[in-house]
């Protein structure tokens, strides 16, 4: 029996991949962790939610509505499974938990498109575990999906274009945005202009967000160094250094994040080969220009294989599906595939421009105090990690994990992995490439313990 192609993720990449497969006569299985298709960038609220698309998505309302309509039109042509978390992969099958029933089943596959998207890159500061502190993505989910703000007076800090987008979304929703604290400098943005000008429409949107925030009285500070968050029962203030002096600002909520990073755990469990990508400061699964991974029958698309944005995710999803079809011997439009590859290649220069405009604060690890909690699940501090290096001889991420328990908690290193790698590299005098990456382990995300229990023999 021929198995249906399987797609993991129903964001821009997954939906376009499904569309392409359906257009060529296939009926794929579409597994979606969310309740409704759209992904994070076009996350859809519950059906009875009343806020219009223009309010939810701003400039992207048209694209969001088109993607949502495409997903709705696919419902009779795909086997769509919402609220379905893929938490493991083994033996040619995916282990899937259905959220409402909290039951698990196996989904076999022969061809698989992985479109798992991205998550926040977190560089913690003292006090980041206080109530009222969210990742930028978490703050956006609260607003889009639940129609609530994370606080009445919010500070957003970190770096990356998402920082200004979410601040704009909150301010437009009527929330008091006390300040935007950006670790990058104006000189970084100026130096990045040649690359950013390759996508003038996208650049114009970013400039609009900044201008709108300034015009509406939101304080924008660049070149800052976040120092600590203050509070007891809840965060009440942010303290930072502006390059000349220490400053403090009252607030009751903070959204923080340093750009995005790919969700690569499933690709790892599938056995995909990884390589170091210096531009994104991460080990990423290998894929060729057509979307093939190093594992036969496994294709990679969207931000889960490298952060490129929503437009690129749609192109990559369609391209991966065309490649899958061609590998099955189905006749496809080769010119269209080449066009998609060209679009993705052209976008690389813009992506490099973004990295130049919003650089990662490379001196973060050197300035992180010993008492800083890095892994909140296991309460592992920066000092604990440094002692593990100096006393235990850890020089590689998985050795550091084994000796210190960093990354062994509920998040499986998804939140603490970036910071732990930075501290390990600094403490050992190695590069990030040399310290390696945390190997993925099942479950990728938390699941009820009873799903892992083996039934008693009869």
- Tell me, what's the pLDDT at 59? 81
Place of tokens 């048209």: 62
Long-range contacts of 164-170 (CB under 8 A, 24+ apart): 164/206, 164/209, 164/210, 164/213, 165/209, 166/136, 166/139, 166/140, 166/255, 167/209, 167/213, 167/218, 168/58, 168/209, 168/212, 168/213, 169/58, 169/140, 169/143, 170/139, 170/143
Query: So where are the chain's domains?
Result: 6-119+261-330, 122-258, 364-435
Nearest to 112 by CA among 88, 85, 94: 94
pLDDT bucket at 458, cuts 50 / 70 / 90: very low
Distance (Å, rounded) from C-alpha 359 to C-alpha 375?
23
pLDDT bucket at 2, cuts 50 / 70 / 90: low
Q: What is the mean pLDDT of the chain?
A: 93
Task: Give 122-258's CATH code, choosing from 3.90.1150.10, 3.30.530.20, 3.50.50.60, 3.40.50.2300.
Answer: 3.50.50.60
Distance (Å, rounded) from C-alpha 106 to C-alpha 88?
9
- Tell me, what's the pLDDT at 56? 77
Distance (Å, rounded) from C-alpha 77 to C-alpha 211?
44
pLDDT bucket at 129, cuts 50 / 70 / 90: very high
The string of DSSP letters for 18-43 reads HHHHHHTT---EEE-SSSSSSTTTTP
- pLDDT above 50: residue 192: yes
Note whether 413 and 422 are within 8 A (CB). no
pLDDT bucket at 45, cuts 50 / 70 / 90: confident
The whole-model pTM stands at: 0.94
- Mean pLDDT on 184-209: 94
Distance (Å, rounded) from C-alpha 272 to C-alpha 262?
14
- Mean pLDDT on 26-53: 88
- Rounded to an integer, what is the distance from CA 92 to the centroid of its chain? 26
Nearest to 172 by CA among 309, 52, 43, 37: 52
Cα→Cα distances 167→110, 175, 223, 344, Å: 43, 9, 17, 28
- Mean pLDDT on 110-139: 96
- pLDDT above 70: residue 423: yes
Cβ neighbours of 66 (radius 10 Å): 13
Place of tokens 């909150």: 170
- On the CB side of 263, CA atoms within 13 Å amount to 20
Do 122-258 and 364-435 come out as alike in CATH topology?
no
For the chain, give the percent of residues with pLDDT over 70.
98
Span 330-386, pLDDT tens digits: 999 999 999 999 999 999 999 999 999 999 998 999 999 999 999 999 999 999 999
The string of DSSP letters for 293-319 reads -SSTTEEE-GGGGS---HHHHHHHHHH
Secondary structure letter of residue 292 according to DSSP: B
Note whether 230 and 127 are within 8 A (CB). yes
- Tell me, what's the pLDDT at 453? 67
Structure tokens, 218? 């939101």
Beta strands (DSSP E) in 84-234 are 84-90, 93-98, 103-108, 112-114, 118-120, 133-135, 153-159, 176-182, 219-222, 225-231
For the four alpha carbons of 267, 268, 272 and 273, in that order, the dihedral sign comes to positive
Beta strands (DSSP E) in 259-304 are 260-262, 274-277, 282-285, 298-300
- pLDDT above 60: residue 69: yes
Does 364-435 carry CATH code 1.10.10.1100? yes
Q: Which fold has domain 6-119+261-330?
A: FAD/NAD(P)-binding domain (3.50.50)
Place of tokens 């979606």: 32
Distance (Å, rounded) from C-alpha 370 to C-alpha 240?
18
- Tell me, what's the pLDDT at 454? 57
Span 277-294, pLDDT tens digits: 998 899 999 999 999 999
Distance (Å, rounded) from C-alpha 278 to C-alpha 300?
19
Distance (Å, rounded) from C-alpha 234 to C-alpha 140?
20
- On the CB side of 156, CA atoms within 13 Å amount to 30
Structure tokens, 17? 């991949």
Nearest to 82 by CA among 28, 7, 10, 4: 10
- pLDDT above 60: residue 124: yes
- Tell me, what's the pLDDT at 405? 96
29 vs 40, higher pLDDT? 29
Cα→Cα distances 239→13, 45, 215, Å: 39, 34, 24
- pLDDT above 60: residue 188: yes
Distance (Å, rounded) from C-alpha 326 to C-alpha 304?
22
């Amino acid at each position: 029996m021929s198995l249906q192609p399987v797609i993991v993720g129903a964001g821009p990449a997954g939906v376009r991949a499904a569309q392409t497969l359906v257009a060529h006569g296939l009926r794929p299985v579409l597994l979606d962790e969310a309740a409704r298709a759209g992904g994070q960038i076009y996350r859809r609220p519950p059906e009875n939610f009343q806020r219009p698309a223009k309010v939810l998505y701003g400039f992207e309302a048209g694209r969001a509505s088109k993607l949502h309509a495409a997903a709705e039109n696919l419902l009779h042509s795909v086997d769509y499974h919402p609220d379905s978390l893929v938490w493991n992969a083994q033996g040619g099958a995916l282990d899937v938990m259905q959220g409402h029933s909290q039951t698990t089943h196996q989904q076999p596959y022969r061809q698989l498109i992985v479109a798992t998207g991205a998550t926040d890159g977190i560089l913690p500061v003292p006090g980041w575990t206080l109530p009222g502190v969210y990742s930028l993505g978490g703050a956006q989910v609260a607003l889009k999906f639940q129609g609530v703000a994370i606080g009445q007076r919010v500070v957003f800090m970190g770096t990356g274009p998402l920082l200004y987008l979410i601040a704009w979304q909150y301010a437009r929703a009527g929330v008091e945005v006390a300040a935007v604290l950006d670790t990058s400098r104006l000189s970084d943005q100026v130096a990045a202009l040649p690359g950013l000008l390759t996508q003038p429409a996208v650049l114009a949107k970013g400039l609009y967000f900044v201008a709108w925030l300034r015009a509406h009285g939101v304080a924008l500070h660049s070149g800052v160094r976040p120092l600590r968050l203050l509070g007891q029962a809840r965060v009440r203030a942010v303290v930072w250094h502006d390059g000349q002096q220490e400053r403090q600002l009252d607030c009751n909520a903070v959204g923080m994040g340093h750009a995005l990073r790919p969700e690569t755990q499933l690709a790892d469990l599938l056995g995909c080969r990884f390589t170091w990508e210096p531009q994104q400061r991460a080990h990423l699964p290998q894929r060729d220009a057509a979307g093939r991974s190093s594992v036969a029958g496994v294709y990679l698309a969207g931000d889960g294989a490298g952060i490129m944005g929503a437009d690129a995710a749609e192109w990559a999803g369609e391209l991966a599906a065309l490649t899958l079809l061609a590998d099955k011997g189905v006749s496809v439009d080769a010119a269209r595939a080449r066009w998609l590859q060209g679009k993705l290649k052209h976008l690389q220069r813009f992506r490099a421009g973004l990295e130049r405009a919003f650089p990662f604060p490379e001196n973060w690890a050197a300035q992180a105090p010993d008492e800083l909690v890095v892994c909140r699940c296991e309460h592992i501090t920066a000092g604990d990690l440094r002692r593990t290096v100096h006393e235990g001889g850890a020089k590689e991420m998985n050795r550091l994990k084994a000796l210190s328990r960093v990354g062994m908690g509920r998040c499986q290193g998804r939140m603490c992995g970036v910071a732990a790698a930075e501290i390990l590299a600094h403490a050992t005098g190695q590069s990030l490439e040399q310290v390696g990456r945390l190997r993925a382990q099942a479950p990728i995300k938390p699941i009820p313990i009873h799903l892992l229990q083996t039934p008693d023999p009869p």
